[in-house]
């Protein structure tokens, strides 16, 4: 195990552990620490006015420091007190896995931190966004339960084949936009690919719709009234630019509703509108409303078609509780109802999320097919038949029988045995020397071995993933692209050393450093670096060295004239120092 565990992480299934990576805290540079400190000082200063009160309370409860990038395995010691944990991952992970982590009360935190050049916003997940954005709010019990429940429902949402392609494209764009030196044409090409995919997604899948809900609440949610909203979404809490922008009249505020599921978003641009929930409890209300539209709760022919379109491992649950897990390839329908379903490749049968003995993927390596519904001319479904009824219809061990279902499916063979659920209902019938047909088409013949017929009047549920996690080898994650670590030039290493010297001076671990000497070297060799100058200005003001402070201010004014795009960052940094009493 490459990470420090705790009781919450111990419950994670193995297939989620494959996404976890070490945080490697020692790899954070003094510049990274300065970026964290600047963003957090700015955020806490501003967010104390506009964030939901759970945010500031949560910063204290989760042990997140303004001055140091959090060590998330230190965070775990505190998070476990509120029933949560945190793990590090490499950038974006598949949406279903991300949500499944949430279902286990685990925060997924990208271990990387944005570069100084992207201090206001990064399209890539980073520790500022997730550590300083997501973690504090979960200290609110109502919101924490919403997040857990969202993960529980979201990981069951069914995707389609295009969703994975879009995920890979978004992950790729986030990586190259954050990487230094990426040619603009490469970024333009990646953005164009995403736009093309988004314009040709067809009918949105469940995962696409619930991802919208996640975006407009967990990432970019506002809470309170339309007139006076507060921020709780992590994307806003962690963006020093967008947290201010979203409070202006330029961003439209609309009441939160299930309509958010059908409102798309663009991760590369500031959001033109945001949804406002009256309280955290209402989030859960809308989530349950959405869940009622999912195949998870509706089943039926539409659910079967969704799992076929996904081309991924999914589960159909029959009305008896029997669960079939595999990659579904075919449905025969009759009068808008599924009357026969078929998987291809390894398939497992379960009941109440536990694999049935003798029905693992080893027993069904080449797929599984079964009729669904009632027998023709008989109103009583097989699952509702008593032992006396079953015997009356010759559905009995040792009988040679032909079962003809509504929709034209015929099952002909010798009944060997039946499997019952805990309520005594028959859920599976095993035949020898069996032939299954639909009209002239042979669906199963005796040469294929024993035939196991699932019993169920209808498909009551359809969802992503297997019923029993242990039925399949889910350690299949292949990273197609990894975050690009910047190449550290000798000049950059020297700049990092200057930042480290000032950090050590401020923290009292090395007070022999000459700040004036550092400043001269900074001006001579790194004239456009503004953040270290702001930190030097802070030290000068704290030491009542007004002459040195004025010299630094003059330099920062020169930087602003040369690089006007940095002006607001410099001004905000100076303001933080001048109003330090508000922050400390």
Task: Specify the pLDDT at position 545.
Answer: 94
| Dist. CA 531–CA 414, nearest whole Å | 80
Phi-psi region of 394 (alpha: psi -120 to 50; beta: other; left: phi over 0): left
Q: Which residues of the chain have pLDDT under 50?
A: 1-2, 581-584
Task: Specify the pLDDT at position 261.
Answer: 97
| Dist. CA 407–CA 332, nearest whole Å | 8
Task: Specify the pLDDT at position 117.
Answer: 84
- List, in sequence order, every residue forming a beta bridge with 435; answer none if it has no partner: 412
What the block records as the tokens of 417 is 């045995």
Torsion of CA 560, 564, 565, 567, to 10 degrees: 40
Task: Specify the pLDDT at position 51.
Answer: 92
DSSP states of 470-511? GGS-------S----PPP--HHHHHHHHHHHHHHHHHHTS-T
- List, in sequence order, every residue forming a beta bridge with 462; answer none if it has no partner: 316
Instruction: Look at the alpha carbons of 140, 141, 146, 148 in this order and tell me if their dihedral is positive or negative.
Output: positive
What is the CA angle 83-154-463, rounded to 5? Answer: 125
Task: Specify the pLDDT at position 1.
Answer: 42
Q: Is the pTM of this model over 0.75?
A: yes
Instruction: Look at the alpha carbons of 226, 228, 232, 234 in this order and tell me if their dihedral is positive or negative.
Output: positive
Phi-psi region of 501 (alpha: psi -120 to 50; beta: other; left: phi over 0): alpha
């Amino acid at each position: 195990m490459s990470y420090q565990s705790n009781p919450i992480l111990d419950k994670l299934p193995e297939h989620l552990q494959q996404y976890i990576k070490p945080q490697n805290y020692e790899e954070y540079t003094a510049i990274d620490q300065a970026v964290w400190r600047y963003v957090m000082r700015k955020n806490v200063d501003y967010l104390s006015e506009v964030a939901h009160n759970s945010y500031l309370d949560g910063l204290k409860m989760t042990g997140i420091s303004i001055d140091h990038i959090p060590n998330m395995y230190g965070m775990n010691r505190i998070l476990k007190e509120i029933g949560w944990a945190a793990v590090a991952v490499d950038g974006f992970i598949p949406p279903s896995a991300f949500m499944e982590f949430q279902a286990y009360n685990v925060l997924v935190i990208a271990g990387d931190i944005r570069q100084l050049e992207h201090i206001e916003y990064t399209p890539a997940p980073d520790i500022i966004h997730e550590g300083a954005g997501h973690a504090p709010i979960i200290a609110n019990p109502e919101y924490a339960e919403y997040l857990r429940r969202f993960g529980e429902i979201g990981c069951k949402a069914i995707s389609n084949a295009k969703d994975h392609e879009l995920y890979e494209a978004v992950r790729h764009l986030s990586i190259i936009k954050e990487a230094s030196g990426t040619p603009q044409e490469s970024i333009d090409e990646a953005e164009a690919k995403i736009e093309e995919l988004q314009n040709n997604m067809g009918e949105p899948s469940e995962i696409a719709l619930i991802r919208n809900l996640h975006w407009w609440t967990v990432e970019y949610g506002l809470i309170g009234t339309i007139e006076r909203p507060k921020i709780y979404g992590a994307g806003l809490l962690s963006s020093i630019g967008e947290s201010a922008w979203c409070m202006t009249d330029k961003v439209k505020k609309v009441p939160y509703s299930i309509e958010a599921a059908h409102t798309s978003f663009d991760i590369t641009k500031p959001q033109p509108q945001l949804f406002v929930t009256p309280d955290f409890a209402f989030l859960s209300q809308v989530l349950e409303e959405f869940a009622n539209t999912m195949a998870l709760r509706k089943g039926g022919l539409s659910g079967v078609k969704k799992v076929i379109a996904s081309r991924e491992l999914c589960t159909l649950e029959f009305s008896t509780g029997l669960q079939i897990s595999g990659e579904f390839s075919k449905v025969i329908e009759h009068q808008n109802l599924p009357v026969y379903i078929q998987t291809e490749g390894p398939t497992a049968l379960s009941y109440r999320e536990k694999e049935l003995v003798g029905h693992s993927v080893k027993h069904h390596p080449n797929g599984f097919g079964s009729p669904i519904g009632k027998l023709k001319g008989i109103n009583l479904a097989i699952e509702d038949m008593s032992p006396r009824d079953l015997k009356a219809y010759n559905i009995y061990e040792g009988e040679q029988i032909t079962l003809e279902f509504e929709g034209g499916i015929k099952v002909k063979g010798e009944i060997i045995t039946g499997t019952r659920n805990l309520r005594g209902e028959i859920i599976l019938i095993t035949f020898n020397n069996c032939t299954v047909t639909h009209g002239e088409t042979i669906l199963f013949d005796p040469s294929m071995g024993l035939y196991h017929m699932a019993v169920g009047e209808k498909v009551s549920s359809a969802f992503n993933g297997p019923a029993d996690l242990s039925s399949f080898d889910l350690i299949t994650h292949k990273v197609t692209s990894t975050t690009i670590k910047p190449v550290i030039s000798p000049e950059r290493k020297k700049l990092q050393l200057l930042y480290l010297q000032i950090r050590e001076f401020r923290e009292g671990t090395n007070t022999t450093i000459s700040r004036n000497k550092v400043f001269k070297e900074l001006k001579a060799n790194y004239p456009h670096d503004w953040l270290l100058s702001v930190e030097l200005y802070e030290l000068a003001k704290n030491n009542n060295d007004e002459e040195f402070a004025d010299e630094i201010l003059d330099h920062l004014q020169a930087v602003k004239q040369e690089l006007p795009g940095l002006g607001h960052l410099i001004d905000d940094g100076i303001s933080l120092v001048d109003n330090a009493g508000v922050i400390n």
